[in-house]
Structure 1
């Protein structure tokens, strides 16, 4: 297995090793990095345009309740910020699989569609499909992109028209049965084709114990406990390799990237990533993740969710709490035969 070093480079390590991230003790003012990404405001022309409004946020209505995060403009802006974070972490790469001139590609749970659009620009010979429960993608897109409203946990119909490459990113807290989804990917990719999942271990860690007992730690315990009650997988990243093996993929490759929370790292690359990650959380990220899960499955009130989110947000700003997340990129190939 490989992981990134403190400088962001991939290095070979044991699968259970933790990154050693040095804390910046100079306390320099590095709280602002970059500008927010431009949000996509146009919606996909579709017959599925009804939405659920709840606790001041907007949610998808097609297959109502299948996905517990909002799909309003505030959330779309935050998702586009996360896209930039993934690019920074992966050194501007959209994918790691060794694909060559793919002709047919699908992006599962495409969200705002930004990955599919970027991929289509890089590969004009490919026909790219982005599918999602919410029709919130832009209409002004490259000619080789189309978006579909679909539930990827339902039965697929792609086996007779398989893909050269299947991509899925950040499906944590979105999928109940990853093993079924992985088997569907195997059946729907061409022999010799590649499947790539990029996903989180949702639970944060701290190498020095500074996260222990904090409101930030309690936030993730409470929120992810609600998602687990609802049947969702909250930490798919470290399990992806085994799911790829069980589905029958070969030539499996695993990389683990470390993403800090805030500007406390000494390493300038990680400091920049951490600043962006904190910025997306500040953009209503705490409430977005927690609101539906806690109010629908743990009977919290809106005010209680806001209070917990406020406490977690305060902890996230502290340079004395050194929070890290692990992000995994795993790809595998369907055998030629």
Structure 2
């Protein structure tokens, strides 16, 4: 099969600020419980700076796994649904029989997918057992480290999905190569991820605390060996792994409700909501206190200043979000 790389973009020309908005959106609670036959060590969480973290493979993932963070992740799920026109994925899969969601988090994507595809065996894999108990009968959750060696070559998947792994993976290239080996010939792999460095159509984010927050936090993650800009590199990693029929879609996601365009305004509201639902704090706490020796109080001050900047109508942050999928050749 000849390789076909398709790149499309929906960068809007109407990303202009609307100075007459009211930020009064409200958001409900989501999933937060889990029970299984896992060993007790998996539930021996790490508690630090008032937040809860995974203990299995301690330190591999630097964001919390407590209820506040789980609510934020479910808000992010809604943001993605709004972004993709209520589609869970863009890859042209047909009648999938075996599917895995890497870094499933609260499991909300896997639950929705299992509901949509009741004939498929769906697996959600994560370091933390934070997924709900009541799930579709065709869905199972497992606790494991997706950066460990896989053993799926003899039982491959039809579809492998990964979303929002930025800042949690040290070797994306190796992970994507493992996906290639673990998907059936003709099967599809889709990654959805960020370029977390903010930009703005008018330069208004430059010199702000919002910018400084991302400079400090992203820089610390990079120094610790984590990639925080995987979105812009996914296409090349897919090519290097051997995928064909690669498709790249780049989306613009504002922060805040400053755009005039109604769709961008809605995306910006959801993005701001997931950021303010302890997002600024949860992303920064562990990386800055463990690796850069900041105090908890210093991190909270930086997060508060960035949050305040994100609410200002004269500051117009935007982020790039990428959806990249590719197919393993039939032969």
| TM-score class, shorter | over 0.9
Counterpart of 1:87 (choices 81, 89, 96) is: 81
Q: Is the CA contact 1:44–1:138 (under 8 Å) kept in the aligned structure 2?
A: no
* Cα distance in 1, alignment partners of residues 329 and 158 from structure 2: 12
1:319 maps onto 2:313 in alignment: yes
Counterpart of 1:2 (choices 1, 8, 12) is: 8
* Cα distance in 2, alignment partners of residues 240 and 38 from structure 1: 30
Q: Is the CA contact 1:44–1:136 (under 8 Å) kept in the aligned structure 2?
A: no
Q: Is the CA contact 1:261–1:322 (under 8 Å) kept in the aligned structure 2?
A: yes
Counterpart of 2:32 (choices 40, 52, 57) is: 40
Counterpart of 2:301 (choices 282, 297, 307) is: 307
Q: Is the CA contact 2:11–2:250 (under 8 Å) kept in the aligned structure 1?
A: no
Q: How does 1:26-105 map to 2 (within 5 A)?
A: 27-29=20-22, 31-33=23-25, 35-47=27-39, 48-105=42-99
The Cα offsets for residues 158-211 of structure 1, whole Å up to 9 and x where unpaired, read as 011000000000000010000000100000000000000000001111111100
1:23 offset after TM fit, Å?
1.5
* Cα distance in 1, alignment partners of residues 270 and 28 from structure 2: 9
What root-mean-square deviation, in Å, do the aligned CA atoms of Structure 1 and Structure 2 show? Answer: 1.1
* Cα distance in 1, alignment partners of residues 184 and 308 from structure 2: 48
1:134 maps onto 2:140 in alignment: no
Q: How does 1:168-179 map to 2 (within 5 A)?
A: 168-179=162-173
- Give me the TM-score of the superposition, normalised by structure 1: 0.94
- Give me the TM-score of the superposition, normalised by structure 2: 0.96
* Cα distance in 1, alignment partners of residues 97 and 65 from structure 2: 30
Q: Which residues of structure 1 form unaligned runs of 5+?
A: 7-18
Q: Is the CA contact 1:45–1:135 (under 8 Å) kept in the aligned structure 2?
A: no
Q: Determine the structure 2 residue equivalent to 1:283.
A: 277
* Cα distance in 2, alignment partners of residues 188 and 213 from structure 1: 45
* Cα distance in 1, alignment partners of residues 152 and 258 from structure 2: 46
* Cα distance in 2, alignment partners of residues 145 and 39 from structure 1: 15
* Cα distance in 2, alignment partners of residues 159 and 171 from structure 1: 23
Q: Which residues of structure 2 form unaligned runs of 5+?
A: 1-6
* Cα distance in 1, alignment partners of residues 216 and 326 from structure 2: 34
Q: 1:198 and 1:251, CA in 2 relative to 1: closer, same or farther beyond 3 A?
A: same
* Cα distance in 1, alignment partners of residues 36 and 256 from structure 2: 34
